[in-house]
């Protein structure tokens, strides 16, 4: 096993318990919510610039791509707004979350993810009319990386549902 793999394994073994403890601790409050909103606003504001810098479009490609991108982002942002609403609902009721409310929020989250995938799929052919296939794939990779950053930051601030303590399941 290489030294790098050994180091990664050690970090995982030692880091997971600490990460689990941090995830189990309630997070929230106005400061965390404000930080979350600033992060999301900053990423949305800079997303187009990040895509432009990493996609390296020709003038002809740019003329075709950006109108499609703007329409795509409008739909994706609407879905993102729904996700923010679910997260806010969850964090507001985190400390006394009922089983019914937990199931409702889980269903809403999964519906949002399904809608996000639908939008992404629906734009593939449209993007392919504006860009060659490799650039379409690169675009989706860039989108996935930006989303991963957002999800990482959100995960750090969203508390994990605590186990019930002795109460019968409803």
Which SS3 state, helix, strand or coil, does residue 94 take? helix
Q: How many domains does the chain have?
A: 1
The most confident of the ranges 95-99, 113-117, 154-158 is 113-117
Q: Would 164 be classed as within a structural domain?
A: no
Q: Would 63 be classed as within a structural domain?
A: yes
Structural domain for 142, as ranges = 28-157
Q: Report how far apart the first and last C-alpha atoms of the chain are (Å, whole number).
A: 48
Q: Please compute the mean of the pLDDT values over residues 6-11 and round it to a whole number.
A: 34
Q: Would 138 be classed as within a structural domain?
A: yes
pLDDT of residue 95: 85
Q: Would 46 be classed as within a structural domain?
A: yes
Q: Binning pLDDT at 50, 70 and 90, where does residue 11 land?
A: very low
DSSP state of 56: -
Nearest in space to 150 (alpha carbons), one of 23, 27, 30, 36: 36
Q: Would 168 be classed as within a structural domain?
A: no
CATH code of 92's domain: 1.20.120
Q: Would 104 be classed as within a structural domain?
A: yes
Q: Would 124 be classed as within a structural domain?
A: yes
Q: Would 14 be classed as within a structural domain?
A: no
Distances from the Cα of 113 to the Cα of 64, 76, 110, 120, 151, angstroms: 28, 11, 5, 11, 13
The alpha carbons of the chain give a radius of gyration, in whole angstroms, of 20
Q: 15 Cβ partners below 8 Å, 6+ apart?
A: none
Q: Which residue has the higher pLDDT, 149 or 43?
A: 149
pLDDT digits (tens, 9 = 90+) for 67-89: 999 999 999 999 999 998 999 99
Which SS3 state, helix, strand or coil, does residue 43 take? helix
Residue 136 pLDDT more than 80? yes
């Amino acid at each position: 096993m290489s030294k790098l793999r050994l180091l990664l394994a050690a970090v995982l073994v030692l880091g997971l318990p600490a990460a689990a403890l941090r995830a189990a601790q309630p997070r929230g409050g106005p400061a965390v919510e404000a930080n979350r909103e600033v992060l999301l606003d900053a990423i949305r504001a800079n997303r187009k610039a990040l895509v432009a810098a990493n996609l390296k479009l020709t003038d002809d490609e740019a003329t075709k791509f950006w109108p499609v991108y703007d329409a795509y982002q409008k739909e994706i942002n609407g879905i993102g707004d729904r996700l923010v609403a679910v997260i806010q609902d969850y964090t507001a009721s985190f400390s006394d979350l009922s089983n019914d409310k937990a199931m409702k929020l889980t269903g809403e989250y999964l519906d949002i993810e399904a809608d996000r995938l639908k939008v992404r799929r629906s734009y593939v052919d449209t993007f392919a009319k504006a860009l060659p296939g490799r650039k379409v794939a690169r675009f989706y990779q860039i989108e996935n990386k930006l989303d991963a950053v957002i999800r990482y930051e959100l995960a750090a601030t969203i508390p994990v549902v605590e186990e019930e303590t002795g109460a019968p399941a409803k």
